Amino acid sequence: MTIPATDTGELTLPGDIELRVSAGPVPYREALDEMSARNAAIAAGEARELIWLLEHPPVYTAGTSAAAAELLDPRFEVVEAGRGGRYTYHGPGQRVCYVLLDLKKRARDARGFVHGLEGWVIDTLRDFGVESFRSEGRIGIWTTDTDGREAKIGAIGVRIRKWVTMHGFAVNIRPDLSHFAGIVPCGIEEFGVTSLARLGREVSFDAWDKALIARAGNFLSALESPCPRETA
């Protein structure tokens, strides 16, 4: 199926990349089917690249490294996602961005792609006064929560087939944080999750989308070169 987009208004992307913004919640299985078909079409040279902004009804998704013991309370549908990583929650109030790009046109660097996604989210969060960061050994985007502890504000999970990416990231704008209690998010028990709303930032999806797309050019430019290796 093809899931229609809304009028993206002044949101535009550099290059011949389609931008799709879905108006209402998109069931996760439908989005996964759409992504898989589009990924194959891009790889075959039959479709444009795609950046897709959307929201899901409540769902727990299992990555390829998900452990059964980390599914604590399957109160929502559980879907095997095929992406890397472990269990993740998606639901209302969380902005999801699926990124389907052909890395053969860029640096062919999987690590650089993930690094670029992280930087894109970190830079956009800063636009709303939230300082966030990467953490060695912990996947995702982290910030300082209201209690002074580190907490996850954004999840990242990707899959690359024939050098075409799929999946992407999800940022907690204003989700019901109690919904995360049904899983060990990304397999990390020691730290919690937070959101822009919990941090006192009332941000609409429209405002988030505009800020994110305004920084898309920097993200895409970063993919043109291999990710710099860290030095001791």
Binding-site residues, in ranges, read: 83-90, 155-157, 168-170
CA terminus-to-terminus distance, the chain: 49
Residue 97 annotated in active site: no
Q: What gap in Å lies between CA 137 and CA 33, rounded to an integer?
A: 31
Catalytic residue among 186, 199, 203, 216: 186
Query: What is the DSSP annotation of 10-34?
Result: T---SSSEEEEE-SS---HHHHHHH
Cβ-Cβ contacts under 8 Å for 176 (sequence gap 6 or more)? 91, 92, 93
CB atoms under 10 Å from CB of 31, counted, come to 22
**100: Cβ contacts below 8 Å, ≥ 6 apart:** 35, 38, 39, 42, 49, 50, 51, 52, 164, 165, 166
Residues of each annotated binding site for substrate: 83-90, 155-157, 168-170
**Nearest to 152, CA basis, from 125, 126, 131, 172:** 172
* Active site positions, annotated: 186
